[in-house]
Amino acid sequence: MATGQLFSKSTQALFYNYKQLPIQRMLDFDFLCGRETPSVAGIINPGSEGFQKLFFGQEEIAIPVHSAIEAACAAHPTADVFINFASFRSAAASSLAALKQPTIRVIAIIAEGVPESDTKQLIAYARANNKVVIGPATVGGIQAGAFKIGDTAGTIDNIIHSKLYRPGSVGFVSKSGGMSNELYNSIARVTDGIYEGIAIGGDVFPGSTLSDHVLRFNNIPQIKMMVVLGELGGRDEYSLVEALKQGKINKPVVAWVSGTCARLFKSEVQFGHAGAKSGGEIESAQAKNQALREAGAVVPTSYEALESAIKETFDKLVEEGKITPVREVTPPQIPEDLDSVIKSGKVRAPTHIISTISDDRGEEPCYAGVPMSSIVEQGFGVGDVISLLWFKRSLPRYCTQFIEICIMLCADHGPCVSGAHNTIVTARAGKDLVSSLVSGLLTIGPRFGGAIDDAARYFKDAYDRGLSPYEFVEDMKKKGIRVPGIGHRIKRGDNRDKRVELLQKFARTHFPSVKYMEYAVQVETYTLSKANNLVLNVDGAIGSLFLDLLAGSGMFTKQEIDEIIEIGYLNGLFVLARSIGLIGHTFDQKRLKQPLYRHPWEDVLYTK
C-alpha cells in the first residue's frame, strides 16, 4: 500500500445509501475549510434518481442522485472516493462493485458486521488493483482543512476545537472511530493539530492496517510525527513493530495500545469491537505496548500519559527546527439551520400556513382539538368528523345525522348524469382512479350538483327580506336568473324526487325549525303553477335545510352562516358525496374490463 496522501482539497466522493446528516456534515466541513467545490459529487440510492437539496455554506445546492454505482461513476469521473453507508447485508456487494470501477481509488465501509469472508475478498481485490479500503466498521478519515468522510470528527464544535479546519503536522491512525474524535482534540491541545487522521475500523480483518497508514504517513512531507492508538486483540500492531525495527519509518511514532485492564478479568473479555478480544499473551495490550517501546516508538506508561508524550515529542521537534507550528487562522461561521435557531430562541420566523382544524404535532392527531382516540372511543361517525373539520365544533347528533343522510342520498345518481359519464369514459380510456374521479368532479357546477350554495344563498336572501314566493320568482325572472334548487330534467309535480321527500321528513321530525325549507316549498308551489317540472330538487332541499340546520342549532352567528354559504361549504357536501359514486363507477368499469368508449355517430347531429 504505502504511497502517500489519500485526499486533498479537490477530492470528491460518491456517497452510497443516502443519509442526510453525514452528507450535510461533510458539506459544512467543506465550507469551514474554504473549499470551492462540495466534496460530495453525487449520491447513489438504489431505485432512486433525481436530486437532493442540501446546504453548501449559506447556498442551497442540488446534488445528483443516481440509482446505480456504474451510472454515478460515469457521471462523476473525477470522484475517486466511495463512501459506503449500506447495511452489513449489502455492504460487501456494493463495495466490490465500486472497487471494480476504474475511477474509484479509495473506499470507506461504515457498516459493522460485514461477513469476514466477504471482507477478505474485498481486501484481496483492493490490494491486487492498488486501491485502498478503510473499514469495515469505521467512522472514516479526515484530511485536515481539505476533506472528511461522513461523520468523522463528530460535530462542527468538535472539529473547530480540534483545529481540523486547517492542516497540522501530525498523522494519526486508530482502530476506534469514537476514540479518534477524542484524540483529535487531545492532539490539538498539545500540538499544531493533525494533518491526516484515519480510523481503520474495529473488525478482525480491516481493509487497511495501522502500519499501512503509518508507512503512508512517513511518505507525506507535511507529516512530521505520527500518533497510533491500537487495542488488544489481533496482531496488527506487530506489523508496525516490524516496520520500526526494519527502519522503514524515520519519523517519531507515539503509540498506545488500549485494553490493559483486560488482565483484571479472570476470563477472556470481549470489548466493543469484534477484533478487541485477547487471544493470548501476545495479543494483550501489555505485550503490544512493550514490543512497540522496544522497537523505538514512544509509548507512555498509561493512556492518561499519552497526551503528555505527544506534547513532549512535538515540542522536541519544534526545538530541533523540524516543525514550524502552523499559523492559526479563524474559520468562517457555519450558518445555522433555521429549525435549530428557532428552537434555541435566537430568531423568530413567520409561518407560511395557518391551520385551525387539525393538529398532528402531539402523540395523536386532533380534529378541532378532539383527539383521534376520543373520536373512535365515543363512536363518532362521518358526520361528526365533518362537523369538526368543516365547522370546527361538535354539532348535535341530529345535525351530523342529517349530514350523513345527505352524503348517502347524493352518493350516486346513475351512469347517465354528466359526472358519472365523464368518469366512465375516462376509466375506460385506461386512466387511473384519481384521473377518472377528477374528470367527473370537474363537471360539478351551476348546472350539475353545484347549485346547493346558490339555492341557499337566494332562498335566504329572499326569506330574510320578506319577499313572497311570487316576488322572489318574478324578481329572479327579471334578472334573467333561473331559481337555483328548482327544476328537474325527469321529476315532475306528480312524480317528486324521493330524496327530497326523505330529507324533508327527517327535518320535520328532528329540526327545531324548518322555516327556510317551508319557504322553499312555497316557492315550489308557485313555480309548479308555471310548469310541471319546476319542482324542488335535491340541491334546493339540501340548501334550504342546511340554512335551517345552521340557524336552528343556535351554534352559528349570522355572520358565520353567511360566510359558510359564501365559501362553498354546501357544495362541498355534494362533492364529497358524489366522489363515492364516481369511485364506484371507476371500479365498476375496470372490474368489467370495459374497452375504450367511442360515442356512436348515429347519436350525433352532423350539420353545416
Among candidate residues 76, 213, 273, 585, the one labeled active-site is 273
Which residue has 327527517 as its cell numbers?
506
What does the buried/exposed string (b/e) look like for 31-60 if buried means 16 or more CB atoms within 10 Å of the residue's CB? bbbebeebbbbbbbbeeeeeebebbbbeee
Angle at 457 between CA 451 and CA 458, to 5 degrees: 90
563: enclosing H helix or E strand: helix 558-567
Which residue has 366512465 as its cell numbers?
424
Residue type, 512: P
Spatial contact of 427 and 406, defined as CB atoms under 8 Å apart: no
CB atoms within 10 A of CB 563: 12
213 catalytic? Reply is no
Residue type, 496: R
- For the four alpha carbons of 166, 172, 173 and 176, in that order, the dihedral sign comes to negative
For 381-434, give the DSSP string. -HHHHHHHHHHSS---HHHHHHHHHHHHHHS---SSSHHHHHHHHHHHTT--HH
Q: Which three cell numbers stand for residue 31?
A: 465550507
At residue 512, the 3 state secondary structure works out as: coil
CB atoms within 10 A of CB 29: 25
The 59-66 sheet, strands edge to edge: 50-56, 59-66, 40-44, 13-16, 81-84, 106-109, 132-134
Beta bridge partners of 172: 197, 227
Catalytic residues, by residue number, are 273
